[in-house]
Amino acid sequence: MSWPKSDADHLIVSSSQMKEIEQKLFSYGMTEEALMEKVGLSMKDFLISNFNLLESGVVVLVGPGHNGGDGLVVARELFLDGVDVSLWCPFPIKRSLTKSHLSYCISIGITQLQSEPDVTGNCFWIEAFFGLGQTKPLPKEIGNLFKKREKFTPGKLISLDVPAGICSDTGKTFDTCAARAISTLTVGLIKVGLLQDMALPYVGSLKRIDIGIPSGVLNLLPKDVPLKISSNDIISLKAPQIECNASKYERGRLAVIAGSKKYRGAALLTLQGAIASGTGSVQAFLPKSISKYAWIKVPEVVFEEESNEEIELIKCLKKIKFDRIESLVVGPGIGLSIEKWEDSALILEEFLGLLVLDADALNRISCSQQGWEWFRKRKGPTWITPNPNEFCRLFPEIDISSPINAASLAARISGVGVLLKGANTVIAVPNGPIWQLTNTSSFVARAGLGDVLAGFVGGIGALGMISEGSFDHGLLAVAALIHSYAASECEEGTNAAFVSKKLGKLFKAIQMKKVQFDT
């Protein structure tokens, strides 16, 4: 799936890749002076467009290198626009270009502070200390300054390129201290570390500063560079297309095995997510205590009642007519069991349709003798939707500190599509792209939404299995994005039941090409 475009708005790069791009621009004749001016002027334009931040004056924190130079260009232009600007330079300036900008700023009347700025002051801080490629902790006095600033005057700092104290490749802080920005204006392309969950409290809202990278230079990047996706990309996605005269059995058929006495709601939420996908037919295998009432909430579903309070997976699988379904979801709320995964494995290996495994299905595989290597035996496509804990149990040998790298490696070695949940969820597929969700809402990290997601993913997959052409693993990213957007835009609330209703309305609008987004 070639979605979205591999352009400057979507590419996610490492610090070394960004530096290589800058060097390529310099080799073409772009000068460091011109690039710094371009960056600084664009940053100034952003700040002027948010002038309320500047009304009490600005302190620019100037670093020793070119990040400090960017800050000085911003300081100069804000000063010339009438903003009260001061500079603080706690480090010896190392770059000649930055020295020249500092000299000019002082010569035109900008005040240079001789001691650290007041952490309780109302001035807005523009942090331009180090930017890209930081490798060591902040000096103790600088780290303490940021701590006190956040304590006494939070929400009054913006960072240029990368917040001080943050690794641009991993998103980790080098110590317990880092600049905590309300916004980060990152230069050129989005750096991978800035999107990782651990960095989000420090990055704030992320704004890309365009530097006009030619498409020919972007094309030099490796083909597996991750892509960021947000609500802006929904309008361009390609949803599975169904023939206008298709019957309900030609619109994707899905089976769901979910629920237990302890997690009764998980089964219902999974089914609500499945129905929201628009798949033509849904059948469910649920414990008796759930199925005898579930029809009231989801009358569209055909129920195959289990006699026990807990799911016996092998019994459910033996009842399924696999030639009459395109997709099977297993796991939400089923709990752990004395039943061995190996007892059911052979049947699932032979299923040619899409298998979606979530929650305790993954935990059962983790406890099995083969573990994740069982995925390689599957004859049909497989998608998994783990949270970080489930992922670590399933792939204990994979370092999860970089979710993008972890999901990518898991997809490559196992041959399955991986949706690794997080604040900015990562999706990786075998021999394909890597996507990371951005601009997500923290309000939707709530119980039950993962169950809705599992059902929705299974339904979208069923539609994909019967669409024209070969099955596209990229639909996993499509489903994740639509689910995330529905959750953040649900007017009624953020609980899972409300979100499932919003999800159904949104996906129908997308299929009908009648959806509008604020960009």
Q: Which residues are annotated as a binding site for (6S)-NADPHX?
A: 66-70, 131-137, 161, 266, 333, 451
Residues making up the binding site for AMP = 421-425, 450
DSSP, residue by residue, 75-93: HHHHHHTT--EEEE--S--
DSSP 295: H
Q: Give the ranges where 403-448 is alpha helix by DSSP (H).
A: 403-414
State residue 152 phi and psi, 5-degree precision: -95, -30
Nearest residue to 452 (alpha-carbon basis) of 422, 484, 420, 490? 484
User: Virtual CA dihedral for 35, 38, 40, 42, nearest 10 degrees?
Assistant: -140
- How many Å from the N-terminal Cα to the C-terminal Cα in the chain? 23
State residue 346 phi and psi, 5-degree precision: -60, -45
**Which residues, at least 6 apart from 213, have a Cβ–Cβ distance to it below 8 Å?**
8, 21, 25, 188, 189
Give CA–CA dist 134/174, Å, rounded: 9
Give CA–CA dist 77/43, Å, rounded: 10
Residues making up the binding site = 66-70, 131-137, 161, 266, 333, 421-425, 450-451
Give CA–CA dist 433/416, Å, rounded: 13
- DSSP-derived 3-state class of residue 319: helix
Cα Rg, the chain, nearest whole Å:
26
**Which CB contacts under 8 angstroms, 24+ apart, belong to 106-113?**
108/76, 108/79, 108/80, 109/79, 110/75, 110/76, 110/79, 110/85, 110/86, 111/85, 111/86, 111/87, 112/86, 112/87, 112/88, 113/59, 113/86, 113/87, 113/88
Residues making up the binding site for K(+) = 67
Give CA–CA dist 320/284, Å, rounded: 10
Give CA–CA dist 70/104, Å, rounded: 13
Q: Are 87 and 60 in contact (CB under 8 A)?
A: yes
Tokens of 195: 């999107």
Tokens of 97: 């270009």
Question: 230: number of CA atoms within 13 Å, CB side?
Answer: 14
With tokens 């599992």, the residue in question is: 454
- DSSP-derived 3-state class of residue 162: coil
